[in-house]
Amino acid sequence: MDVDVSVFMPLITDSAQAKNYAFEALTCAKSKDEEGYKRKLKEAQSCLIQAHQKQTDLLTLNAREEETTVTIYLVHAMDHVSNAQMVYDLVQELADIHLNKTGI
């Protein structure tokens, strides 16, 4: 079976970058570096937007009934996008605690 990595690999790489930047943002928040936190979170958001755009492009192809081969790799890539979004959201919540924005 020939596998076209150009279909799923960009989703995985953009999502992985988003998670890495989000964790770097959390590290900044833990050390009370609010500017570093904001910078890294913005980079995470940018990568996440790119991943979501690629995911939307694939869904649009499917909606137009154009052939989209669903492989375990594509399912895995979609999972990466979901996990990246969850990490991004959780990092923001944890950063609020570390930066004392929740009144704790």
Active-site residues: which are they? 76
**Contact between residue 32 and residue 64 where contact means Cβ atoms under 8 Å apart:** no
Which residues are within 8 A (CB) of 97 and not within 5 positions of it... i.e. 6 or more apart?
A: 104
HSE-up of 22 (CA within 13 Å, CB side)?
Answer: 23
**Contact between residue 40 and residue 28 where contact means Cβ atoms under 8 Å apart:** yes
User: In the numeric block, which tokens belong to residue 104?
Assistant: 């704790």
Residue spans of alpha helices (H) in 31-104: 34-63, 72-98
